[in-house]
Amino acid sequence: MQNSFTEENYLKIIHALSGREGLEVTTNALAESTSTRAASVTDMLRKLADKGLIHYKKYQGVRLTESGEKVAISVIRKHRLWEVFLVEKLGFGWDEVHEIAEELEHIASKELVERLDSFLGHPRFDPHGDPIPDAKGNLTEPDYLILTDVGVGEKVLMMGVLDHAPSFLQHLDRSGITLGCVLEITEINDYDKSASVRINGSNSLFISLEVSKNLLVQRR
Amino acid sequence: MQNSFTEENYLKIIHALSGREGLEVTTNALAESTSTRAASVTDMLRKLADKGLIHYKKYQGVRLTESGEKVAISVIRKHRLWEVFLVEKLGFGWDEVHEIAEELEHIASKELVERLDSFLGHPRFDPHGDPIPDAKGNLTEPDYLILTDVGVGEKVLMMGVLDHAPSFLQHLDRSGITLGCVLEITEINDYDKSASVRINGSNSLFISLEVSKNLLVQRR
DNA sequence: AAAAAAATTTAGACTACCCTAAAAATAGAT
DNA sequence: ATCTATTTTTAGGGTAGTCTAAATTTTTTT
Ligand SMILES: [Mn+2]
Ligand SMILES: [Mn+2]
Ligand SMILES: [Mn+2]
Ligand SMILES: [Mn+2]
C-alpha cells in the first residue's frame, strides 16, 4: 500500500533526527519538528510501526527499519532533485525552493524521478550542498567541517549550510558567500568568536559566530 | 483558505462536464467522474457551495461560480503546463503523462507555475492539443471539427484528441497519427463508417468510427 | 394524474490525522 | 530509595472525505 504525505514527512524527519548513527528519536523531538502535539505523534508512530516502517517500543523512542529508511531516502532524493530543478532550470534562489520541494517530494512516479535526474545531469548535490541519494538508495554524507573548527590563516571551500532558513540564506547572499567560494579566516575575535573572512581572495567581511556555526566547509 | 486536492479535482471535473456553455452538472455524473458514490458527491457539493465555489440548489445540479471557475482554470493551466514539461523536457510519451500531471497540478506555488511557463516558452497547447489557459485565466477553446464531420477527399490537420486514454493514444502512435499531421479521407465505408485515411500524403490506413469520433481536426 | 423508476439527499458509520486533558512511565534530584 | 519533574501514552473527541442503506424528490411512463 501507498504511504501518505504525512507518513512520508514523518519518515523523512525521523531520518534527519536520528542522524548518521541512527540514534533513537524521541516523541517530543518529532512533535517539535512536525509542529504537532506529542499525542498525535504517538498515534502516527503506532501506525508506522504497524506498517513495518519503524522500530517502536513504547517510551523507548523510534528508529527507521530498512524499509522505512528506503522510503525516507527516496523522499530525500526527490526533494533534493526538485530543488536542483527549481534553481538550475527555473532560476529560483536557493532561499526560495525548500517549501516548494516540500510538496514536490511527494509526487509518486518512480519514472519521473529517474527522468528528472537524467534531465538535470545526475547532480550529486542540491543547491544547499546536501548530497543527493542515488537511484539505488545510497546516501553518503560527506564529512565537512563547520567553519568554527577552522583556524586563522586557513583557506577552505564553502560546501554547504546547516541552517536552511531563507533568512540565513539571504544573509549569505548579501555577504557574497556562495557554494564553492574560498573562505580564508583572517582574524577571530576572542571576545565573541566573530571572524574576519576573505572571500575568493578579495573582499573581506565580518561574520558572527552564529553564521560560522552554520557553514559547512572543506580544507583546500 | 486553501483548497484541498479533492476540492480542486471536483472543480476541475465540474468545469469539464459543464462544457463550453456552462451547463448544470448532475450529482451522478460527478460520482461517475470522481469514482465515488453519489452520497459522497452531495457532501462535497455542500462544502464547495459553502465556500462559494459553486452554485448549488438541492436536486438541481451545480455550476461553477466566478471564483470556482478561477480555481478550476488555474488547476487546468498547471495540469497542461506540467504535461508539456513531461513530454518536451523529460521525453515522456503523450500516453504516459496524464496521471503524473494529475498530481503535479495541485502544487500550490503561483511563482512556480509562471516560471515553468517561461521555461517552456509559453506553450499554447498541451501534448494532447488542449489549449493552455494564460496567466490571467483566459481559456479559449478552439473550435475544431471531429473527423467524422469530414467528407471524402478533404484534407485536414490533426489538432487534438477527445479520448485521453493511454490505450487510445498508443493506438494512434502505432497508426502513425500525431498532432499536426495531415489526414486525407480517401474513402468512407457506408456499412460501418470506417474510413481510409492518408497520413501526410503517403501511407494509407483504415480507421474505425470509434477512432474517428475521438480525433479533433481542422480544415486546410 | 397517478404510479413506477431514477436521481438525489440524509442518516449513520468508518479511517486518517489532529487536538486537549488525564493517566502512566521514565528520568532526575534528594 | 523515594519523591518530583518530565516525557510519553491513553482517553475521548473533532474535521475531511469516504461508504452503505434508507428516505426523499424529480422524472418518466402509463
Ligand atoms: Mn513534505
Ligand atoms: Mn536542500
Ligand atoms: Mn488531480
Ligand atoms: Mn492533456
The CATH code of the domain that includes B181 is 2.30.30.90
Which ranges of chain A have pLDDT less than 70?
none
Question: Over the stretch B30-61, which tens digit does the pLDDT of each residue have?
Answer: 999 999 999 999 999 999 999 999 999 999 99
> Containing H/E element for A6?
helix A5-18
Residue in chain A nearest B114 by alpha carbon: A90
- pLDDT band of residue B204 (cuts 50, 70, 90) is confident
- Residue A115 at interface with chain B, using a CB cutoff of 8 Å: yes
If one compares A35 and B202, the residue with the highest pLDDT of the two is: A35
Residues of chain B neighbouring A111 (CB-CB closer than 8 A): 92, 96
In a domain, B24, yes or no: yes
Nucleotide nearest to B61 (CA to C1'): C8
Cα B203 from chain centroid (whole Å): 29
In a domain, A94, yes or no: no
Q: Quote the pTM value.
A: 0.95
Residues of chain A neighbouring B102 (CB-CB closer than 8 A): none
Where residue A18 sits, what CATH number does that domain have? 1.10.10.10
Please say whether the dihedral angle defined by the alpha carbons of residues A70, A76, A82 and A85, taken in this order, is positive or negative.
negative
Nucleotide nearest to A28 (CA to C1'): D7
Number of domains in chain A: 2
Q: Which pLDDT does position A217 carry in this prediction?
A: 98
- pLDDT band of residue B146 (cuts 50, 70, 90) is very high
Query: Grid cell 532561499 — which residue?
Result: A95
The residue among B136, B133, B180 whose CA lies nearest residue B157 is B180
**Residue of B104, B105, B114 best to disrupt the A interface, most CBs of A under 10 A:** B104
Question: Over the stretch B56-80, which tens digit does the pLDDT of each residue have?
Answer: 999 999 999 999 999 999 999 999 9
Residues of chain B neighbouring A91 (CB-CB closer than 8 A): 115
Q: Look at residues A15, A30, A64 and tell me which one is the last residue of a structural domain.
A: A64
| Contact in structure between B176 and B183 (CB atoms under 8 Å) | no
How far does residue A109's CA lie from ligand 2's centre (Å)? 21
Q: Which pLDDT does position B202 carry in this prediction?
A: 84
Q: What are phi and psi of A84, to 5 degrees?
A: -60, -45
Closest-approaching ligand to the CA atom of B8: 3
Q: Look at residues A64, A85, A100 and tell me which one is the last residue of a structural domain.
A: A64
Is the shortest CB-to-strand distance from A38 to strand D under 7 Å? yes
pLDDT at B94 over 90: yes
In a domain, B82, yes or no: no
Q: Which pLDDT does position A76 carry in this prediction?
A: 98
Residues B104-121: what's their mean pLDDT? 98
Between A89, A104, A111, which is nearest B107 by CB? A104
In a domain, A11, yes or no: yes
**B92–A86: do the CB atoms touch at under 8 Å?**
no
**Ramachandran sector of residue B174 (left: φ over 0; alpha: ψ -120 to 50; beta: rest):** alpha
Q: Look at residues B64, B88, B107 and tell me which one is the last residue of a structural domain.
A: B64
In a domain, B59, yes or no: yes
Q: Which pLDDT does position A202 carry in this prediction?
A: 84
Q: Report the alpha-carbon distance of residue B12 to residue A84 in Å, rounded.
A: 30
Between A99, A100, A115, which is nearest B92 by CB? A115
DSSP string computed for B111-174: HHHHHHHHHTT--SB-TTSPBPP-TT-------PEEGGGPPTT-EEEEEEES---HHHHHHHHH
Residue B212, domain extent: 145-219
In a domain, A87, yes or no: no
Q: What are phi and psi of B35, to 5 degrees?
A: 55, 45
